[in-house]
Amino acid sequence: MVESHSEETAAHEVYGEVCWQRFLRPRHAGPPPAGLESVCGQARGRADDSEVWLWLSRQPRKAWFQAHGSPWIIAAADLAAEAWQAGEKRLSAATLASRLDAPPDVMDAFLTVEDAWHSALKILD
Amino acid sequence: MNEPIYLDYAATTPVDPLVAEAMAGCLTRDGCFANPASAHRPGREARRRVEAARVAVAELLGAEPREMVFTSGATESNNLAIAGAARFHRRRGGHLITSRTEHKAVIDVFRRLEADGFEVSWLTPAESGIVDPAQVAEAIRDDTVLISLMHVNNETGVIQDIAAIAEITRAQGVLLHVDAAQSVGKLPIRLQEWPVDLLSLSAHKFYGPKGVGALFLRRRPRARVEAMMLGGGHERGLRSGTLATHQIVGMGEAARLAIRDMGADRERILALRGKLEARLLAMPGVRLNGDPERRVAGTVNLGFDGVHGEALVAALDPYLAVSSGSACTSASAEPSYVLRALGRSDAQAESSLRLSLGRFTTEAEVDRAADCIEQAVSRLRALSPRSLGDSEPTPLSG
């Protein structure tokens, strides 16, 4: 048992400012509003105890996510949704890690989101 | 940013200002800084203060002052009691008993003794966290020399029936060690009535300083241990090393305050915990870990279904200083072995929080903490694809 988080590095320092802000205030939390779900490519990624759902829609160009996992996975899913809305078609775990300035040991979170992204695109195509 | 609300009194407590004052009088040249082992007058004064502290700590436990040995804290006391007693009585037998929910400072000593050839029976408590005294009686064998059980669990706050267990061990002629780090200063301890042989405590759990504690060793019948710290023969040869006057005096003052305030503190803290618990348990998908009744006043351990443990701890970090049910790093999480032993899944253990209140906790802090937790849990649940009643991953359909 961790016995006092106050004695450790503050959470926003552990996760970095970009991840922390997205974790606190994700912009693309889902699911999609009623009616839009049917036009979405919907897929999920799973790893260990984490899970992410991603919905991508072409018309309108929108994306939403839900995630059960660390702040890294929540921030990465939000970033992936934003990337789709910005018109990006390819997204890798490495890109997500780089944009969130993440350490290498949390790569699983980004691979999980990458999985969901590819699966959703496949369904959409 | 404001300081987080401190709800981690089970991890450690702030030093009471009166304790700090007493300690400050033993540090500098104009104070009582001399070596208590010295024969000169300043040394004798230091010795007098050390012995006054010994009387106070003994009184808190219902023990005799000469039954107390000062140590660096409960971890050292546990090591000295368990390894010291096991080794001293090695010829009598090599069987030891403890439980799976003890503190690491006990578990690791038993693991070392196992590696050294002792046989250890590990008792599993009920889901409530309580070890049935009948379990203890059943586990005792002819070659059992020592049983070690904690009085109050550090994660759940569950209180063991030490008086009943002690009656059994005494009747069987087996030594009983009690790790009382979480109960001293919070619950009445009656060593004049409970036939406990050895008992460990730490000052920093009851508003004393860190780095000092004590081991109670009963004189009649005499509990004997093999010393581990050699050199100088301090503390009747059981724990060599110059006595840390300021630390010991601080612990003595903390003991005096505990004797004076324990009852009132307990009532007040219990009321605050009741308020906090009532609010959080009113949320859906929140469960209490540990027995609802037999718990120390300040501690509550709650599991939050449908919330990821690391995310919950992170979300609360700016606002609350609490302990989680997992030892998280950025890459992995180790679920609490205590909660796992009580039947909780890895996910349930990881999404649990221990909130522990103390002497300086206010009602406003409790209200604010409940607000923070409610908001964080609701926000994370809204983000999660998992349904509330199901903390496990959603099933794959293909």
Give ipTM to 2 decimals.
0.90
Chain B residue closest in CA terms to A44? B396
B351 Cβ contact list (under 8 Å, min separation 6): B303, B304, B305, B306, B307, B308, B309, B312, B325, B391
CATH of the domain spanning B17-258, picked from 3.40.640.10, 3.40.50.300, 2.40.40.20, 3.40.630.10: 3.40.640.10
Burial level of B309, CB count in 10 A (0-12/13-18/19+)? buried
Å from A59 to nearest chain B CA?
24
Which helix (H) or strand (E) segment is B284 a member of?
Answer: none
Task: Name chain A contacts of B385, Cβ cutoff 8 Å.
Answer: 44, 51-53, 66-68
The pLDDT score that the predictor gives to residue A3 is 45
For range B242-250, the mean pLDDT: 97
The pLDDT score that the predictor gives to residue B328 is 44
Residue pairs between chains A and B whose CB atoms are closer than 8 Å: 103
The pLDDT score that the predictor gives to residue A29 is 94
Chain B residue closest in CA terms to A53? B385
For range B293-308, the mean pLDDT: 96
Inter-chain CB proximity A2 and B311 less than 8 Å: no
Whether pLDDT at B330 is above 50? no
Selecting among B26, B32, B328, B372, the annotated active-site residue is B328
Å from B299 to nearest chain A CA?
13
Chain B residue closest in CA terms to A7? B321
Pairing of strands B326-328, B333-335: antiparallel
The percent of residues in chain A predicted with pLDDT above 90, rounded, is 60
Residue owning tokens 């267990």: B165
Among B11, B316, B330, beta carbon nearest to A14: B330
Å from A54 to nearest chain B CA?
10
> What gap in Å lies between CA B2 and CA B321, rounded to an integer?
12
Taking only residues 149 to 178 of chain B, the set having a beta carbon closer than 8 angstroms to any beta carbon of chain A reads 154-155
Whether pLDDT at B351 is above 80? yes
For range B220-236, the mean pLDDT: 93
The pLDDT score that the predictor gives to residue A7 is 44
Å from B4 to nearest chain A CA?
7
Whether pLDDT at B329 is above 90? no
Among A4, A11, A23, beta carbon nearest to B323: A4
For residues A25 and B382, the answer to whether their CB atoms sit within 8 Å is no
What is the average pLDDT score of chain B?
Answer: 94
Pairwise pLDDT comparison (B63 vs A46), residue with the higher score: B63
Which pLDDT band holds residue B395 (cuts at 50, 70, 90)? very low
The pLDDT score that the predictor gives to residue A43 is 78
Helix/strand/coil for B290: coil
For range B73-86, the mean pLDDT: 98
Å from A65 to nearest chain B CA?
8
Whether B305 and chain A come into contact, CB under 8 Å, resolves to: no
Which pLDDT band holds residue A125 (cuts at 50, 70, 90)? confident
**pLDDT, tens digit, 9 for 90 and up, residues B96-140:** 999 999 999 999 999 999 999 999 999 999 999 999 999 999 999
Inter-chain CB proximity A70 and B311 less than 8 Å: yes
> What gap in Å lies between CA B103 and CA B75, rounded to an integer?
9
**pLDDT, tens digit, 9 for 90 and up, residues B13-59:** 999 999 999 999 999 999 999 999 999 999 999 999 999 999 999 99
Task: Name chain A contacts of B377, Cβ cutoff 8 Å.
Answer: none
For residues B212 and B70, the answer to whether their CB atoms sit within 8 Å is yes
Q: Cβ atoms within 10 A of the Cβ of B59, count?
A: 16
Distance from chain centroid for Cα A72: 8
Which pLDDT band holds residue B147 (cuts at 50, 70, 90)? very high
Whether pLDDT at B360 is above 80? yes
**pLDDT, tens digit, 9 for 90 and up, residues A19-64:** 999 999 999 998 998 887 777 777 777 777 889 999 999 889 999 9
For range B175-186, the mean pLDDT: 98
Inter-chain CB proximity A69 and B310 less than 8 Å: yes
The pLDDT score that the predictor gives to residue B1 is 56
Assigned fold of A5-124: Sufe protein. Chain: A (3.90.1010)
The pLDDT score that the predictor gives to residue A39 is 73
Distance from chain centroid for Cα A69: 10
The pLDDT score that the predictor gives to residue A5 is 43
The pLDDT score that the predictor gives to residue B389 is 53
Helix/strand/coil for B148: strand
Pairwise pLDDT comparison (B232 vs B114), residue with the higher score: B114
Which pLDDT band holds residue B180 (cuts at 50, 70, 90)? very high
B32 is catalytic: no
Chain B residue closest in CA terms to A67? B384
Inter-chain CB proximity B154 and A15 less than 8 Å: no
Architecture field, domain B5-11+262-383:
Alpha-Beta Complex (3.90)
The pLDDT score that the predictor gives to residue B272 is 98
The pLDDT score that the predictor gives to residue B116 is 97
The pLDDT score that the predictor gives to residue B153 is 97
